[in-house]
């Protein structure tokens, strides 16, 4: 049936819209707190679906759930030459004319009495708080959602106890032909060493292994050859001698990457569902933040892969960029799957949490028109004013981000192209959970 798929898409889009709404609230609340006049608070882009005015602000929802914005008056300062007692300069070039037009549009909303309510005249630290409030809300929402999963539902934890041992070593092709072990098949190193399900691995090569991951890394690092495996069996500690073989295995640090010729024992861990502590949530958030930030640094390279997937039919990288359409399709795939309801809920929450984390980090890039560009401008203004205060120089004016508008438009154009490419790739060659 298609209805579960459609419902999954709708549920994720609702979660996305709520995330965007909270992001904009992260800007709205400090802006109003610091006295900036906000004329619009909108979730989405395009034609207005619904709106209502309360006080001086129009609150509304637009049809395209591709972002949102708040409209603050006076984002750009007037030209220095427009100050009283100075001559008005004449624009001499297309870029200067563009900048001047943007200034005029920004100042059109400033009414008599609003002079102290414009954004550009606020102290630098207030600008930083206002513009970083959106990403901060994304981070907070991601942390709460990850907390719900880890502390509320729990996660699968691999124990040092062995769950199963293959009796022989087969290639994938041989396994397809005959999944049963025969006398011609090579015994697995674990089976040949006498390891049994229920054994708890205590050490590898004489080095204690407190976790399954530590044991796996030690086995891989040993490579092919003999190694001592310390286990606890029925309450007794014993040492078994195993002869590892070399195999190509997926990397523990970089999913999708294959490590050549690592040590292979042939054991599977026992997995249990355990609720985690608050500290585990903090650690999980930190690990994912580092991994996501590293992915953003490789974003241009990843977009090349998206291009190849869209136009050359290459396989889509599951760890690469994905747009709103692609993530929504994954939401539909989750809802339509045969997984238990609790598992579907956990995957949905994780998906939304990861999306918020990625959006928060992306928005902090120090580039206009992203929030991070405005944050960088505020910090630069604070640095200049602090330096002037220390050196007893005249206080410099407000940072004029209007001068960066040509670069801003160029970056915005590139972002629109990338968003269009992601949308196209998500339609013709989407990322799928299965297959």
| Residues whose CB is less than 8 angstroms from the CB of residue 70 and which lie 6 or more positions away in sequence, other chains included | 24, 27, 28, 31, 38, 40, 41, 42
**CA-closest candidate to residue 363, choices 211, 189, 137, 145:** 137
314, 415 Cβ separation under 8 angstroms: no
Strand partners, 228: 241
Q: Is 313 left (phi over 0), alpha (psi -120 to 50) or beta?
A: left
Scanning 112-207, the segments in alpha helix (DSSP H) are: 124-147, 172-177, 189-193
**CA-closest candidate to residue 309, choices 293, 322, 294:** 322
Measured N-to-C along each axis, helices 299-311 and 278-297 cross at an angle, to the nearest 10 degrees, of: 70
Tokens 């870029």 sit at which residue?
Answer: 95
Round to whole Å and give the CA distance between 378 and 366: 11
The SS3 assignment for 91 reads coil
H or E segment to which residue 238 belongs: strand 236-250
355, 16 Cβ separation under 8 angstroms: yes
H or E segment to which residue 270 belongs: strand 268-274
H or E segment to which residue 18 belongs: helix 3-33
Active site residue 24: yes
C-alpha distances (whole Å) from 72 to each of 34, 113, 142, 190, 269 are 12, 15, 26, 66, 55
What is the secondary structure of 176-187 as a DSSP string? HH--S--TTSEE
**CA-closest candidate to residue 265, choices 316, 232, 222:** 222
Question: Dihedral (C-alpha) 298, 13, 256, 272: value to the nearest 10 degrees?
Answer: 130
The SS3 assignment for 227 reads strand
49, 63 Cβ separation under 8 angstroms: yes
Handedness of CA 381, 384, 389, 392 (dihedral sign): negative
Q: Which residues form the catalytic set? A: 24
């Amino acid at each position: 049936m298609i209805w579960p798929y459609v419902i999954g898409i709708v549920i994720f889009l609702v979660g996305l819209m709520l995330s965007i709404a909270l992001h904009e609230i992260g800007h709205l609340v400090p802006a109003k707190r610091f006295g900036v006049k906000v004329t619009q608070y909108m979730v989405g882009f395009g034609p207005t679906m619904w709106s209502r005015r309360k006080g001086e602000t129009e609150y509304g929802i637009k049809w395209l759930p591709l972002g949102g914005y708040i409209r603050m008056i006076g984002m750009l300062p007037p030209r220095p030459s427009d100050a009283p007692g100075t001559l008005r300069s004449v624009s001499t070039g297309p870029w200067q004319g563009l900048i001047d037009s943007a200034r005029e549009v920004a100042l059109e909303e400033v009414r008599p009495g609003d002079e102290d309510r414009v954004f550009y005249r606020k102290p630098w630290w207030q600008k930083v708080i206002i513009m970083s409030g959106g990403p901060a809300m994304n981070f907070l929402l991601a942390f709460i959602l990850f907390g719900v999963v880890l502390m509320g539902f729990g996660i699968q934890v691999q124990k040092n106890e062995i769950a199963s041992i293959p009796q022989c070593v087969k290639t994938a092709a041989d396994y397809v032909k005959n999944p049963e072990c025969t006398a011609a098949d090579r015994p697995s190193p674990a089976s040949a060493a006498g390891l049994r399900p229920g054994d708890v691995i205590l050490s590898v090569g004489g080095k204690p292994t407190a976790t399954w991951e530590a044991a796996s890394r030690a086995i891989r690092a040993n490579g092919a050859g003999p190694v001592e495996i310390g286990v606890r069996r029925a309450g007794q500690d014993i040492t078994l001698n195993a002869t590892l073989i070399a195999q190509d295995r997926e990397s523990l640090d970089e999913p999708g990457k294959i490590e050549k010729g690592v040590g292979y024992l042939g054991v599977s861990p026992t997995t249990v569902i355990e609720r985690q502590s608050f500290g585990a949530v903090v650690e999980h958030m930190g690990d994912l933040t580092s991994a996501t930030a590293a992915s953003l640094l490789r974003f241009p390279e990843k977009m090349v892969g998206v291009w190849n997937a869209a136009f050359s039919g290459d396989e889509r990288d599951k760890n690469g960029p994905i747009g709103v359409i692609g993530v929504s399709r994954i939401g539909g795939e989750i809802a339509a799957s045969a997984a238990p309801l609790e598992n579907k809920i956990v995957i949905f929450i994780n998906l939304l949490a990861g999306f918020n984390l990625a959006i928060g980090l992306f928005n902090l890039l120090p580039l206009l028109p992203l929030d991070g560009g405005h944050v960088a401008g505020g910090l630069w203004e604070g640095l200049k004013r602090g330096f002037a205060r220390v050196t007893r120089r005249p206080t410099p004016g407000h940072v004029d981000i209007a001068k960066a508008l040509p670069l801003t438009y160029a970056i915005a154009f590139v972002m629109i192209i990338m968003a269009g490419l992601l949308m196209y790739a998500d339609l013709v060659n989407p990322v799928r959970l299965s297959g």
